[in-house]
A = this chain, B = another copy of it.
Amino acid sequence: LFQSQSKVAKLLQLKAQLGGDEGKHVFVLKTAKGTRDYNPKQMAIREKVFSIIISCFKRHGAETIDTPVFELKETLTGKYGEDSKLIYDLKDQGGELLSLRYDLTVPFARYLALNKITNIKRYHIAKVYRRDNPAMTRGRYREFYQCDFDIAGQYDAMIPDAECLKIVYEILNELDLGDFRIKVNDRRILDGMFAVCGVPDEKFRTICSTVDKLDKMAWEDVKKEMVNEKGLSEDVADRIGEYVSMQGGQDLAERLLQDPKLSQNKQAFAGLTDMKLLFSYLELFQVTDKVVFDLSLARGLDYYTGVIYEAILSQTIPASVSTPAEQNGADEAGVSVGSVAGGGRYDGLVGMFDPKGRKVPCVGVSIGIERIFSIMEQKAETSSEKVRTTETQVLVASAQKNLLEERLKLTSELWNAGIKAEVLYKKNPKLLSQLQHCEETGIPLVAILGEQELKDGVVKLRNVASREEVDVPRADLVDEIKKRTL
């Protein structure tokens, strides 16, 4: 019947003639490496998580936009530093050179420049792609969701930055994933610190990458990398070591402003002054119990210019949960903490796209949703409550034969009245299998039709859980179902 089937058959024949794999084409039935399907149960959890996040974004007055899954290759070029090798390119099939988006931030900046938008508060929830060496066992996917919130525009210092942190705080609270911390630092403080410690200018970025590993590696190993691989002197590394062990709040910012060397560095001074201001706003937003100024935080991406932050769950996650986890660059299997959000200020990115280099200051946050999904899935697994994957209110059923047409007619009436209704696609299903379908999928009500009910102009309405049955006049059925499934 299928042309394509016969084509496949011909190909197989051909292959057989050529010898080789015994004429058997081994078709591998799987998803692409590093990707996964979401089944209905996972989707129900995903939509619950999204709805909490979207509510928060909307509460903060954000609009939403969408950009294509692929961009011109050159749009993504030169934005991700050493990670550029992880970008998926499309095959050159004649036409433009294209790549799958690596994050939602660069497409956002491209969108602002293309449409000459100078201020917007937007969120964007979509999949991004990284040709990472995945090892799904280490919790990395090659296709995964990001939930981004960004504020673009020329505003007074640190107000939008504080709102981004407030948003992370609200979302992690509402998702109820246990205790968490939000680490904050500033690119300018890092740069100033490197300068003061005696790191040569051209090594700032690469030393930054090394510092970024402090959440996974001991200081001793980080220092080794600095000295042996990156060529710093022991002295310089030790001076960095002193700084990156510091943690605190507004007090630490104040203390470092007293540090004669650091405060004389222009960059560090600006960063520390802003950090002080940021904490004063965070105080007003009542989030300082979870936010910590941490000099070891050094996010990898090239485009950050000011404040940077990262949120980390404190709870110990069993290795089994951390498996299908997060992709933001800071995770290992079975580790006790997980980065679930990150972001910062990137004032130069839009200007890289503008023909005249006009800058649009931006600050934003990205929620790394995959690890959150995993934790929620694990929670659902261990909870006694069953996750429903449909919202069906009533099954239209019959115990007698030859009532298919009557069942279809009633189902149609219910659909027309906006009731979520199902009917089994069998001429004469057994009542038991109809009730079983309700048990399995959590449908709370059954509307049962029989010869007698049809004669009397009623429908027998059965509560699946309590097994109670009552005859409802057909004209009242819709209201009765609505009342019972509020």
- Where the two chains meet, the residues of A that have a C-beta atom closer than 8 Å to any C-beta of B are 1-5, 7-8, 27-33, 35-40, 43-44, 46-47, 58-72, 74, 78-81, 88-93, 95-96, 98, 100, 110-111, 113-115, 120, 122, 127, 129, 131, 143, 151, 153, 155-156, 159-160, 162-163, 166, 170, 205, 280-281, 284-286, 302-303, 305, 348, 352-355, 389-392, 404-405, 408-409, 412, 415-416, 418-422, 425-427
Most buried by B among A30, A120, A205, A408: A408
Q: From the candidates B98, B302, B415, name the one contacting A4 in the complex (CB within 8 A).
A: B302
- Chain B residue numbers with a CB within 8 Å of A166 are 412, 415
- Chain B residue numbers with a CB within 8 Å of A90 are 88-91, 100
Complex: A215 Cα to B414 Cα, angstroms: 35
A218 to chain B, nearest CB (A): 27
Complex: A92 Cα to B32 Cα, angstroms: 13
Is the beta-carbon distance between A348 and B408 smaller than 8 angstroms?
no
Is the beta-carbon distance between A65 and B43 smaller than 8 angstroms?
yes
Most buried by B among A61, A391, A392: A61
- Copies of this polypeptide in the complex: 2
- Chain B residue numbers with a CB within 8 Å of A92 are 91
Is the beta-carbon distance between A1 and B348 smaller than 8 angstroms?
yes
Q: From the candidates B36, B63, B113, B425, name the one contacting A43 in the complex (CB within 8 A).
A: B63
Given contacts A64-B43, A90-B91, A412-B166, contact A58 B122 (CB under 8 A): no
Is the beta-carbon distance between A390 and B68 smaller than 8 angstroms?
no
Given contacts A281-B408, A352-B2, contact A421 B391 (CB under 8 A): no
Is the beta-carbon distance between A8 and B352 smaller than 8 angstroms?
yes
- Chain B residue numbers with a CB within 8 Å of A409 are 284
